[in-house]
Amino acid sequence: MKTIAFKPLISVEIIYSFDNKEQEMWSFDYFLEDVLMSEDKLVRDLITRPYTDDLEILDDLFKVSMCLSCEVEEFVKLPCFKDVLSKNGKYYFDPKQRDQVEDKIIEGTTIASKTKPFLMVAH
């Protein structure tokens, strides 16, 4: 088994989509302290990073789309990043579209606490 021995600096770009606000986009660098971090903990850390002073802004979040890159190519071999890449960096917080990962991301927080289910309107 190969061991990955580095603490990568990840370039992050995230587009936040809300129920009642305009989309927002943030770009920042993220120093990965724990290479064994689970996908849900990594994504929660990334999406809350720009809003640490006001997490209530995320209470009507319905989707995030993120792009992650790193100069160290091996970062894609880390399990948490494999998981993010397998979802194409998209996480849906609509109550009817969430999966177990999104449920874990929002657990114990106000993230998406006011997000309403998307309603299809017949024409």
Q: What is the side-by-side strand order in the sheet with 90-92?
A: 24-31, 9-18, 61-69, 90-92
Reported pTM: 0.86
Would you call 73 helix, strand, or coil by DSSP? helix
Q: What is the pLDDT along the chain (123 residues), one digit of tens a residue?
A: 555 556 678 999 999 999 999 999 999 999 888 878 899 999 999 999 999 888 999 999 999 999 999 888 888 888 888 999 999 999 999 999 999 999 999 999 999 999 988 766 566
